[in-house]
């Protein structure tokens, strides 16, 4: 895994020694190519951050800040090491579950881009995690006006009901599907 482009482009990223599955370079490159200038100056939230690939890529491409939410201690350590190695500033790591972060999120600022790469829904627990994320009303409340939620899931699976979200488009990259979601208008 490496940073694709920007200030830290080409630098390798550490991946935590856990059962986490990092987003492929190809998928991340495609996502950021589609986002273009939308990343510059953005406040970014990286949920289920793993090694921090999405948030670090955003910082490298000019995002103003990134918050990384990850529950695995080893992964949080890897994010910190990756931020130090890339010399990217304005990254903050939060070692907690996504549901705990969202339950306290009322004090958080609005984010322009939210990335989420939850465990792929292969079992009941993962399916519940994805369903809970899409149903949680705190998440759309964190998104700034005109913001975008980029969700990675296992390719070929259906998304659970997402009452607060409108899917703008979905793209497939190997074993992953990338969904671009915006808040539904009231």
* pLDDT tens-digit series, residues 126-168: 778 888 999 999 999 999 999 999 999 988 878 888 889 999 9
* pLDDT tens-digit series, residues 57-99: 999 999 999 999 999 999 999 999 999 999 998 999 999 999 9
What DSSP string describes 117-171? -PPPSSSHHHHHHHHHHHH-THHHHHEEEEEEEEEEEETTPPPPP-TTEEEEEEE
What pTM value is reported for the model? 0.91
What is the spatial distance between Cα 29 and Cα 147, in angstroms, rounded to a whole number?
20
- Going by pLDDT thresholds of 50, 70 and 90, the confidence category of residue 186 is low
- Going by pLDDT thresholds of 50, 70 and 90, the confidence category of residue 28 is confident
- The partner residues of 69 in beta bridges, in order of sequence, read 47, 94
* pLDDT tens-digit series, residues 33-48: 999 999 999 999 999 9
What is the pLDDT, as a whole number, of residue 156? 80
Average pLDDT over the chain, rounded to an integer: 89
What is the pLDDT, as a whole number, of residue 97? 95
Selected residue with higher pLDDT from 123 and 85 = 85
Alpha-carbon torsion (20, 51, 156, 168), positive or negative = positive
What is the pLDDT, as a whole number, of residue 12? 80
Is the pLDDT assigned to residue 121 strictly greater than 70? no
Is the pLDDT assigned to residue 120 strictly greater than 70? no
Task: Please state the CATH superfamily assignment of the domain spanning residues 25-183 in this structure.
Answer: Vaccinia Virus protein VP39 (3.40.50.150)
- The partner residues of 154 in beta bridges, in order of sequence, read 176
Task: Please say whether the beta carbons of 79 and 48 come within 8 A.
Answer: no
What is the pLDDT, as a whole number, of residue 150? 97
């Amino acid at each position: 895994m490496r940073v694709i482009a920007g200030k830290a482009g080409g630098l390798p990223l550490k991946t935590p020694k856990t059962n986490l599955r990092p987003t492929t370079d190809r998928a991340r490159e495609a996502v950021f190519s589609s986002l273009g200038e939308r990343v510059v100056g953005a406040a970014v939230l990286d949920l289920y951050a793993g090694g921090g690939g999405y948030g670090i890529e955003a910082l490298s491409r000019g995002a103003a800040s990134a918050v990384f939410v990850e529950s695995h201690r080893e992964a949080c350590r890897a994010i910190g090491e990756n931020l130090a190695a890339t010399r990217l500033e304005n990254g903050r790591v939060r070692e907690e579950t996504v549901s705990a972060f969202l339950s306290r999120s009322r004090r958080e600022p609005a984010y322009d881009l939210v990335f989420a790469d939850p465990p792929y829904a292969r079992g009941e627990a993962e399916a519940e995690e994805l369903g809970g994320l899409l149903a949680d009303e705190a998440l759309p409340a964190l998104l700034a006006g005109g913001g975008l939620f980029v969700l990675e899931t296992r390719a070929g699976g259906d998304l659970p009901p997402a009452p607060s979200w409108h899917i703008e488009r979905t793209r497939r990259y190997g074993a992953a599907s990338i969904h671009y979601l915006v808040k539904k208008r009231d």
